[in-house]
């Protein structure tokens, strides 16, 4: 879940010899929903043999999830053997959903968790109760590496070089990627400690801890920094703004492809042209404010967003901090879907315009609503 593949290989070696010795593998996540996880876990274990077919673990963050690491020993096979067995299990039980990553090289399997997690949104509305993430190139791959490094380094400059800096960046990154309670369980620290660290880094970088768009900017900067490392410190005024980074190829192509499922569904133009989603994002992802702005009922806004979750393979409503939510049904989970949506909307024309905050010395912050 944290992307530390070498550590995972060392730990899993004694537990499941040869598990990650293959060239590639998949990650699958079973969402048990209302079903008892321990019973489902026992059934999953019975479907996996002890010959390197897969390893199932109870998710440390989300009580209803089971994570399966599934190696693909045959390079010509369309998917790992364990995945086929899990599909059968889920098809026989209407309460389960199965999100599956595409086949990935083992060194990239850390990305598989996020992809499998987001695929759960589609699996929930699929007749088979299973869905595989598309595996199309992601946002980080689409961004210009040099410009993205400069932007991220500028935003993070107040906290780079601090004692224990890399560990702090990783900790806060996880705290932004997951809801705080879930992230604290993964990290093994108290949720209040993690909340203070996340809030402190947001404030240190000139961002508002209470704005979701600000949290997305910091999350994006941390992901870029983890991928590319720091850039040489540029002269003042030479750092590109995020708008300049996303308003160009190949990011615009990525954004158009990511949002294409909305345009292909013609059931409701307010949903399919991104109108509801754009208003929701521009209003910092607040459902009630979006309802007032669009003249829709809050339940209708929520329905549009739920529909978009399945179309886009992104968790959206369920990724929000608790203060943004109206019902327990919208319990906070993982936040990568909001980051993708915000950047995709900023990279495509539309009204109202959406702009994520920049470093304060890279063209100023976004206007506050």
Distance CA 313, CA 107 (A): 23
For the chain, the distance separating the N- and C-terminal CA atoms, rounded to the nearest angstrom, is 34
Parallel, antiparallel or unpaired: strands 104-105 and 55-58: unpaired
pLDDT value for 135: 66
pLDDT value for 363: 42
Q: Facing residues of 334 across strands? A: 178
Distance CA 113, CA 29 (A): 8
Q: Is the distance from CB of 136 to CB of 162 less than 8 angstroms?
A: no
pLDDT, one tens digit for every residue, the chain (369 residues):
455 555 554 445 445 555 666 789 999 999 987 678 999 999 898 888 655 578 899 988 888 899 999 998 888 899 999 999 999 999 888 789 999 999 988 877 777 888 888 888 788 888 899 999 876 667 888 999 999 999 999 999 999 988 767 888 989 988 888 878 888 888 889 999 999 999 999 999 999 999 999 999 999 999 899 888 898 876 556 788 899 999 999 999 999 998 988 877 544 444 444 689 999 999 999 999 999 999 999 999 999 998 888 888 788 876 444 444 333 333 335 677 899 999 999 999 887 788 899 987 444 443 333
CA distance to 35, 51, 159, 241, 333, per residue, from 120 (Å): 16, 27, 35, 33, 12
Distance CA 35, CA 93 (A): 10
Paired tokens of 184? 């604290």
CB-based burial, 206-242: b 16+ in 10 Å, e otherwise: ebeeebbbbbbbbbbbbbbbeebeebeebeeeebbbb
Q: Facing residues of 27 across strands? A: 69
Q: Facing residues of 105 across strands? A: 24
pLDDT value for 73: 85
HSE-up (13 A, CA, CB side) for residue 4: 12
Measured torsion, CA atoms of residues 295, 299, 301, 303, in degrees rounded to the nearest 10: -150
CB-based burial, 58-84: b 16+ in 10 Å, e otherwise: ebebbebbbbbbbbbbeeeeebbbbbe
Burial of 86 from C-beta contacts in 10 A (0-12 / 13-18 / 19+): buried
Q: Please give the DSSP secondary-structure letter assigned to residue 17.
A: T
Paired tokens of 56? 């199932």
Distance CA 104, CA 123 (A): 20
pLDDT value for 236: 59
């Amino acid at each position: 879940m944290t992307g530390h593949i070498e550590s995972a290989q060392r730990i899993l070696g004694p537990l499941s010899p040869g598990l990650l010795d293959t060239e590639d593998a998949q990650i699958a996540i079973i969402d048990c929903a209302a079903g008892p996880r321990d019973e489902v876990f026992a059934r999953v274990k019975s479907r996996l043999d002890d010959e390197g077919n897969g390893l199932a673990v109870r998710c440390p963050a989300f009580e209803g999830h089971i994570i399966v690491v599934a190696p693909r020993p045959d390079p010509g096979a369309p998917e790992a053997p364990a995945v086929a067995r899990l599909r059968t299990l889920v098809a026989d039980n209407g309460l389960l959903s199965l999100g599956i990553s595409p086949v990935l090289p083992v060194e990239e399997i850390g990305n598989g968790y996020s992809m499998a997690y987001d695929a759960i949104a589609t699996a929930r509305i699929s007749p088979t109760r299973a869905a595989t993430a598309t595996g199309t190139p992601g946002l980080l791959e689409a961004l210009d590496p040099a410009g993205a490094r400069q932007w991220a380094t500028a935003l993070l400059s107040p906290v780079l070089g601090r004692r224990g800096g890399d560990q702090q960046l990783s900790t806060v990154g996880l705290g932004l990627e997951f809801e705080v309670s879930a992230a604290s369980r993964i990290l093994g620290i108290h949720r209040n400690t993690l909340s203070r660290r996340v809030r402190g880094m947001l404030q240190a970088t000139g961002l508002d801890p209470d704005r979701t768009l600000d949290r997305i900017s910091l999350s994006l900067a941390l992901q870029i920094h983890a991928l590319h490392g720091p850039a040489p410190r540029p002269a003042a005024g030479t750092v590109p703004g995020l708008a300049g980074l996303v308003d160009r190829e190949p990011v615009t192509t990525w954004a158009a492809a990511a949002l294409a499922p909305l345009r292909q569904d013609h059931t409701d133009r307010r949903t399919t042209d991104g109108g509801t989603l754009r208003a929701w994002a521009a209003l910092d992802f607040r459902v009630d404010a979006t309802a007032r702005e669009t003249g829709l009922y809050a339940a209708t806004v929520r329905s549009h967003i739920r529909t978009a979750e399945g179309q886009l393979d992104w968790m959206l409503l369920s990724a929000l901090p608790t203060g943004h939510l109206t019902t327990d049904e919208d319990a906070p989970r993982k936040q990568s879907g909001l980051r993708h949506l915000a950047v995709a909307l900023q990279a495509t024309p539309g009204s109202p315009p959406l702009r994520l905050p920049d470093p304060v010395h890279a063209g100023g912050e976004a206007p506050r609503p």
